[in-house]
Structure 1
């Protein structure tokens, strides 16, 4: 396997320096001459990873001068394999947000049409992912790579939880945070996975997941969510056409009737758990150990002044709620109950993954939302956050372009059981060939 879409370093620099979409944190002009399987491949890095050469601010004022004294594990692996970092990209502050509207650097719009959002929190990575970039590293705690990937019509991959080291990724929700990335093809996605997968002594959640010798594999059984009533018509038409095409390939296509009562709980379960974990993980941002400090009469004043001035409204809101869920009298009522429902959600999906080669469903019920939200025609219920289920379960998930509507793209998602990344990517190669380059 050879990398197909390497990008162009000089053109990427020129393009990124002209960015007027609040997407670029810093541009780099040093080419990596290290030989390896990613030689001459150009990439961008979401600015919530530690790196020694420049500021890693997580798009937050509280870290506006923070430079780490080490590199994230994935960054070292990419450098060692010859990849060249051309830019860091902005994000919803600390990854807490899903629209691209909560960076301290300004709103990030969809590069295909500024009337639409690009989605987040890996909004800067998505907004700058042109043909001059070989791949873009983001992070995915809820759907923060796969949803913007759908909104720009690119491959978006979230590996199994633990398959890739999170050492050096700023923590948001530790039980769901996942290194994830954008690619132009499944082939290139596989090569990045083979570069980044593996145990890391600095991340005790990391584990060995087989990712070698991947070949295109035709599935025998494909399960699909019966969710047409929650989709825009133009999405459903492409969805049904794909299901018909799979049947014509002599693949058994099995309808899964959703447990709507359970799936409609995905959002609230995600919010309770992720906000709670964020309130713990970001508790060190006080202005005392590090970060921008606002002075006060004592440490309590310093903490209050620092957080009040330097954290954005979205982060404050989530941290306040997270602290509320973790208060002694609330833990059983909210946090523990959410964990129990998380287990029910996990069991429901795993029963499907155990029976069939993979599960498919549209990555979103519509194309990217318009800034004025005028292209929302119904209550999409669980389909608005269906991608978040794989963060709760921990299983791998990949999005491929399914089609377009009014020149705006949308994806189909493929999912398998946790640690079945090799099979998922093998099936994704086949699905990519079925969908075709133009997704007709």
Structure 2
């Protein structure tokens, strides 16, 4: 059974299509491994019984033309799943069961996927370590003392630990790429508007984007092919010609121009991150691509801009959780008292902090000084990328300023925690695609990632670059199954 869980998505699909293995066997293997891995706390809700039933139904009438034929998949608990609890990692939604399906998960099931369960995440996707979840922190399968990153920490942990062959996360400021880097997995943040946001619990509407997380670039390409579709139900969904991302995957990147931004060499960056970046540059050259030094002058303003724009949108989006329509409700002496108690008891500290920041920057007298100014700087950041892409095809940077840190290490220092997103946030502000691939290890043997940033809707290009680099890097994850009980 363990042989099945260690196989790539592409290989599992091939084996099922060639009838070498059944969907039931594959599903059983992942369920058994997941049940032995409760220590990781990767799941919030499991749907194993239903998954087995659906796998058996698939085997009775197999449709082998599907892209994910009978493949079991666990997904981040930010995606609404019909008749399956969706909590967003929060107490305020602990009893919420949607009556509808998110478009992205609907695409998975229509392609033949089978839901295994919902994966843990930072509360309302607010966090960089998966420590803000009401359901407790997730452990990194690399080491029990490490965070898996956030907010898609449960998703990254589950993929790295082979509890699911692939998964989907959401990325608002790096929440797919940062945990991918911390766990030695692949994470793609698509272009804003590439994947539908319908049915995803909102954090910051102009930044949120769903994306694939996987063991390798091939699997990532296939999963992105499935989830990236135009959706009339989402006003921000963009109708453009999608590629056959897996079929068009190539390692031939000869002649591509790859930009190296000087502003990403930040003060105090560890030498091992600098060395990793240099190795990545060498790999790019070995693949026949050309390296070009570029400048993204407004990079240093990205983090403060993000932490004005994102909380502002969050405070607006989270106003709907008032104890009236759905979710947790506290007892109060009157309506106002009930509102106040519901929100103070239902939201965790980090969510409350961001709501307060957001409400402040949107308040009368501060809107122009903070929010409006942040939106103008956001435009400058996007302009930097537009200028850079006049001379390069993609940009190579580190994914994170360090490897995974210890559980609890930064919990009481929110500013230090926010700095983890320093290399990922500009991509979201500009609405561009970015992919993190595992590229090496630090002195302790913890994974480190490199990020490739592309032009809008040019996911095929960055997948190709990642595919070529993946072969050169030859990364192997140092996982020992210490969590198996």
Which category describes the TM-score, using the shorter chain as reference length?
Answer: over 0.9
Paired residue secondary structure (1:239): helix
Paired residue secondary structure (1:264): helix
| Distance in structure 2 (CA, Å) of the matches to 1:203 and 1:133 | 28
| Distance in structure 2 (CA, Å) of the matches to 1:437 and 1:310 | 42
Corresponding residue of 1:333: 369
The 3 A distance-change label for structure 1 pair 39 and 313 is: same
Q: In the alignment, is the contact (CA less than 8 A) between 1:45 and 1:136 conserved in 2? A: yes
The one of 433, 436, 452 aligned to 1:399 = 436
Q: In the alignment, is the contact (CA less than 8 A) between 1:354 and 1:417 conserved in 2? A: no
| Distance in structure 2 (CA, Å) of the matches to 1:438 and 1:23 | 22
- Does 2:45 match 1:26? yes
Runs of 4+ in 1 over 6 A off after TM superposition: 379-383
Task: Write the mapping of 1:371-382 to structure 2, written as runs, cut at 5 A.
Answer: 371=407, 373=409
Corresponding residue of 1:351: 387
| Distance in structure 1 (CA, Å) of the matches to 2:316 and 2:70 | 40
Structure 2 residues without counterparts, runs of 5 or longer: 1-7, 14-24, 411-415, 478-485
| Distance in structure 2 (CA, Å) of the matches to 1:306 and 1:414 | 42
Residue 71 of structure 1: how far off its partner (Å): 0.7
Corresponding residue of 1:181: 212
Corresponding residue of 1:254: 292
Residue 17 of structure 1: how far off its partner (Å): 2.3
Deviation readout 1:260-305 (Å, 9 max, x if unpaired)? xx32221111111110101111111000111111122332111101
Corresponding residue of 1:214: 248
The one of 76, 98, 116 aligned to 1:68 = 98
Corresponding residue of 1:157: 188
Deviation readout 1:17-55 (Å, 9 max, x if unpaired)? 231233211222224426311013222111111112321
- Does 2:455 match 1:417? yes
Corresponding residue of 1:304: 340
Deviation readout 1:335-366 (Å, 9 max, x if unpaired)? 00000011111111221123211100110122
| Distance in structure 2 (CA, Å) of the matches to 1:80 and 1:355 | 40
Corresponding residue of 1:264: 300
Q: In the alignment, is the contact (CA less than 8 A) between 1:231 and 1:380 conserved in 2? A: no
Q: In the alignment, is the contact (CA less than 8 A) between 1:163 and 1:197 conserved in 2? A: yes
Corresponding residue of 1:244: 282
The range that moved more, 235-244 or 64-73, is: 235-244
Paired residue secondary structure (2:405): coil
Corresponding residue of 1:81: 111
| Distance in structure 2 (CA, Å) of the matches to 1:383 and 1:119 | 9
Residue 437 of structure 1: how far off its partner (Å): 4.6
The 3 A distance-change label for structure 1 pair 163 and 333 is: same
The one of 1, 4, 9 aligned to 2:27 = 9
Corresponding residue of 1:234: 272
- Does 2:130 match 1:100? yes
Residue 373 of structure 1: how far off its partner (Å): 4.4
Corresponding residue of 1:134: 165
Q: How many residues align?
A: 433
The range that moved more, 66-75 or 349-358, is: 349-358
Q: In the alignment, is the contact (CA less than 8 A) between 1:13 and 1:27 conserved in 2? A: no
| Distance in structure 1 (CA, Å) of the matches to 2:284 and 2:127 | 36
| Distance in structure 2 (CA, Å) of the matches to 1:149 and 1:380 | 17
Corresponding residue of 1:200: 231
Corresponding residue of 1:274: 310
Structure 1 residues without counterparts, runs of 5 or longer: none
| Distance in structure 2 (CA, Å) of the matches to 1:428 and 1:420 | 13
Q: In the alignment, is the contact (CA less than 8 A) between 2:296 and 2:384 conserved in 1? A: no
Q: In the alignment, is the contact (CA less than 8 A) between 2:178 and 2:421 conserved in 1? A: no
| Distance in structure 2 (CA, Å) of the matches to 1:45 and 1:335 | 33
Q: In the alignment, is the contact (CA less than 8 A) between 2:34 and 2:163 conserved in 1? A: no
The 3 A distance-change label for structure 1 pair 185 and 295 is: same
TM-score of the two chains, using structure 1 as the length reference? 0.93
Paired residue secondary structure (1:20): helix
Corresponding residue of 2:139: 109
The 3 A distance-change label for structure 1 pair 117 and 132 is: closer
Paired residue secondary structure (2:73): strand
| Distance in structure 2 (CA, Å) of the matches to 1:91 and 1:249 | 37
- Does 2:320 match 1:289? no
Q: In the alignment, is the contact (CA less than 8 A) between 1:365 and 1:380 conserved in 2? A: no
Q: In the alignment, is the contact (CA less than 8 A) between 2:128 and 2:418 conserved in 1? A: no
Q: Which protein is richer in helix relative to its size?
A: 2
